Amino acid sequence: MEIRQLSTDEEIKATYPVMSQLRHHLKKESYLTTIRRMETSDGYRMAAAFEGERVCCVAGYRISEFLAYGKVLYVDDLVTDEAARSRDFGGHMIGWLADEARRNQCGQLHLDSGVQRHGAHRFYFREGMKISSYHFAKDL
């Protein structure tokens, strides 16, 4: 297994089949354009875990600073390919993200997870994460 930050169009496009398992609304035709826009406007970054050339796990993240928390690495997206689950790709990715946070002088790693994702929550607890707040949203 190799985990690396992605930079080329080909690398990013290769993550679509895995990312779309989490983000069902994404369209293949606009995926790369959306990622590139988020990189430019919000500092979005992507990393993937590979087994050979196969993408097995994908993370989208950004470095942000908050008055409440200081500098943090915030994970927008984290998904392991359904065919590769229970093989610790997610655990290795969380470790890589924590190292990336340290390399960027972040004091914490944050993520939100939908309330219905019970399996993901068990995984996050196993990885030493805790529920630190509620996240509220309102459709506009």
Strand partners, 111: 75
The pLDDT tens digits of the residues spanning 51-98 come to 999 999 999 999 999 999 999 999 999 999 999 888 889 999 999 999
pTM: predicted TM-score of the whole model, two decimal places: 0.90
% the chain with pLDDT above 70 = 100
Q: What pLDDT score was predicted for residue 100?
A: 98
Q: Angle at which helices 89-103 and 118-126 pack, to 10 degrees?
A: 60
**Pick from 33, 32, 35: which is nearest to 77 by CA?**
35
- Whether 107 contacts 70, CB under 8 Å: yes
Helix (H) or strand (E) holding 95: helix 89-103
Rg (Cα) of the chain, in Å, rounded? 15
Whether the predicted pLDDT of 121 surpasses 90: no
